A and B are shown apart, each in its own frame.
Chain A
Amino acid sequence: MNKININLENIPHFEKDINLVLGYFDGIHLGHQMLIKKAKEEGYKLAVLTFDKSPKSVINKNRDVILTNESQKEELFKNLGVDILLVLHFDLKLAALDKNQFIDQVIKVINPHKIFVGEDYSFAHLASGSANDLKPYYNTDITPLLSIENEKVSTTNIIELLKIHNLEKANQFLGRNFQIIAKVIPGKQNGRKIGFKTANLQLIDPFMVPGIGVYIGYAYIKNIKYKAIINIGTHPTIDELSQPLIEVNILDFDKDIYNQEIKVDFVRYIRDEIKFINLEKLKEQLKKDTLLAKNSL
């Protein structure tokens, strides 16, 4: 796959010899995957036009949570068979283009054979452009939104599912395990005192953090996969923290990995974060959690 970072001044031009898929594609969930696979089927070279930043985060100036960062998206696009990934720099100037300007300055320059979008695709200033506005210029294929058991497969819905601990459904919608990428940072080392070492995580991008509680899943360190218990919480038993922390206990692993990158897959929610009456009770529970991770993953 060829990845090209572009802006309004250097948009590449094609001779109607590529199929173009449009969208921001946060999460690259099953709906996105279906759209890309459909565009791939036609035999033309497949290009995806996306943005480097979420339009919402640029316009509203707040940091939006994300389901996938740039590197994850790149890997997923590549594995879906995308040949050319066009990453358009999104800034207020681009956001100010009205729909005809966007078509003239971006779409017509690229000049694809055919365009593929999802039913809810919108573009240009105040999202005034819709898929139908592209139809007069290019053969445009509009894919209806994917629903599973009457629920819409959408990034917003997946974020809501993660908030309420429904990892099973969120992962089903994603077509893989929900994953965050972080750096391991020194923590308070309270875990060591009770013989339960954890890695404290600092997210490298504003990933969506699932609701407070305890999860089982996998940790990847230098691409080696380990079973893991993930705690998202405030440490009510030891000394309560103001900000929720993400901590990972990696099974059968005993190395210091400060400042290293770690990827964490969330597979299942196992329990609430409980305030235990003493450390012994907490230790007992951690033993049970470990056993569960060992046997059920």
Chain B
Amino acid sequence: MDGFLLINKPIGWTSRDVCNKISHILHVKRCGHVGTLDPFASGLLLVCVGNATKTINYIDHSIKEYIATLTLGKKTTSLDITGEVIETKEIPNLTISDIEKTLKSFVGKIKQQVPYTSAMHVNGRKLYSLYYQGIEVERPFKEVEVNDISLISYENNNITFKVTVSKGTYIRVLGESIAEKLGTVGFLSSLQRTKISDFDLSQAINVSEVSEEKIIPIDVIMEKFVYKISVDSIMAKKIKDGMTLKFENVKTDIIYFSDSNNEPIAIYKRKHGDYFSCARGIWKYE
């Protein structure tokens, strides 16, 4: 049983909870998720089953869309609704156009300070484990990209906005920065992921609806995320043997190979120049 599922993650579940439940329903050992959604967030989660788990590192670079609500006037430890309030600040009188202008100012490449709850490694340790042990470290900065951001509503000190971002953008930190720029503090009171690449939340199913028959073949998802080349059986053999291959005119650094029946074979990575070598074999053993 190999493939993907588009899941609508409920609030309160960790992304791992979703995978655990799915491996239980499907009786599979290997089940993982592409990109994490925090417990307080809901929405679209791409889940991999069986051999599809091998592709996780190669498809997590896609554009994602979120709808977030930023509550102004209070700051929490985690920057979201699950944390404790550590600061309150007066909210200035804001017009819709003030907020719209501020939101738009974040479009483009921006530097973000990684939150304490991140799994990013600092001095060889995960940032969150250092944080929970009370070891103080400087939160590192990371460059991310906001493709688009727009206001949906502003009511009772809550700003609801839609944002499209590239990989690794912390929406919580974006919320913190927006509040700061508006002259106050804030935390995310809700977050919903509505898109991953071309896939929309309306295409997702609930965890309770999961069954073997609903699994999306590896090839169908891979060709949406990674440059695909279909090869004949002679080439397929070479790829399975792990041969380094030369491809001219390939613009991406990652290639996904499938055979003529659209069965996945392997993922190759650019080694140097036009040469690509095997990063991961994903064919099914007979």
Residues of A within 8 A of B (CB): 75, 78-79, 222-227, 252, 297
User: A224, B216: Cβ atoms under 8 Å?
Assistant: yes
Residues of B within 8 A of A (CB): 3, 6, 198-200, 202-205, 211, 213-217, 220
User: B203, A224: Cβ atoms under 8 Å?
Assistant: yes
A281 to B199, CA, bound (A): 32
CB-CB under 8 A from B220, the residues of chain A are: 222-224
User: A223, B215: Cβ atoms under 8 Å?
Assistant: yes
Q: How far is the CB of A219 from chain B (nearest CB, A)?
A: 11
A223 interface neighbour in B198, B199, B200, B214, Cβ under 8 Å: B214
CB-CB under 8 A from A227, the residues of chain B are: 202
User: A223, B216: Cβ atoms under 8 Å?
Assistant: yes
CB-CB under 8 A from A252, the residues of chain B are: 198, 200
A74 to B203, CA, bound (A): 24
Name the residue on A nearest B4 (C-beta).
Answer: A223
B6 interface neighbour in A75, A78, A79, A224, Cβ under 8 Å: A224
CB-CB under 8 A from B214, the residues of chain A are: 223
User: B202, A297: Cβ atoms under 8 Å?
Assistant: yes
User: B203, A222: Cβ atoms under 8 Å?
Assistant: no
Q: How far is the CB of A223 from chain B (nearest CB, A)?
A: 4
User: A225, B211: Cβ atoms under 8 Å?
Assistant: no
Q: How far is the CB of A240 from chain B (nearest CB, A)?
A: 35
User: A75, B211: Cβ atoms under 8 Å?
Assistant: yes
A222 interface neighbour in B205, B211, B216, Cβ under 8 Å: B216
A78 to B214, CA, bound (A): 13
Q: How far is the CB of B215 from chain A (nearest CB, A)?
A: 6
Can you report 26 residue pairs joining A to B where beta carbons are below 8 Å apart?
A75-B211, A75-B213, A79-B211, A222-B216, A222-B217, A222-B220, A223-B3, A223-B213, A223-B214, A223-B215, A223-B216, A223-B217, A223-B220, A224-B6, A224-B199, A224-B203, A224-B216, A224-B220, A225-B6, A225-B202, A225-B203, A226-B203, A227-B202, A252-B198, A252-B200, A297-B202
A163 to B71, CA, bound (A): 50
CB-CB under 8 A from B6, the residues of chain A are: 224-225
A225 to B215, CA, bound (A): 11
A222 to B5, CA, bound (A): 12
A297 to B3, CA, bound (A): 26
Q: How far is the CB of A68 from chain B (nearest CB, A)?
A: 13
Q: How far is the CB of B197 from chain A (nearest CB, A)?
A: 12
Name the residue on B nearest A74 (C-beta).
Answer: B213
A227 to B201, CA, bound (A): 11
Name the residue on A nearest B219 (C-beta).
Answer: A222
CB-CB under 8 A from A226, the residues of chain B are: 203
CB-CB under 8 A from A224, the residues of chain B are: 6, 199, 203, 216, 220
A173 to B213, CA, bound (A): 23
A224 to B3, CA, bound (A): 12
**Which 3 A-B pairs rank lowest in CB-CB distance, beginning with the nearest?**
A223-B216, A225-B203, A222-B220
CB-CB under 8 A from A75, the residues of chain B are: 211, 213
CB-CB under 8 A from A222, the residues of chain B are: 216-217, 220
User: A225, B205: Cβ atoms under 8 Å?
Assistant: yes
Name the residue on B nearest A75 (C-beta).
Answer: B213
Name the residue on B nearest A227 (C-beta).
Answer: B202
A229 to B256, CA, bound (A): 33
Name the residue on A nearest B262 (C-beta).
Answer: A222
A202 to B203, CA, bound (A): 24
Q: How far is the CB of B22 from chain A (nearest CB, A)?
A: 14
Q: How far is the CB of B159 from chain A (nearest CB, A)?
A: 24
A225 to B220, CA, bound (A): 12
A226 to B198, CA, bound (A): 11
Max chain B C-beta neighbours (<10 A), residue from A75, A224, A252, A297: A224
A79 to B6, CA, bound (A): 19
CB-CB under 8 A from B216, the residues of chain A are: 222-224
A75 to B214, CA, bound (A): 10
A222 to B199, CA, bound (A): 14
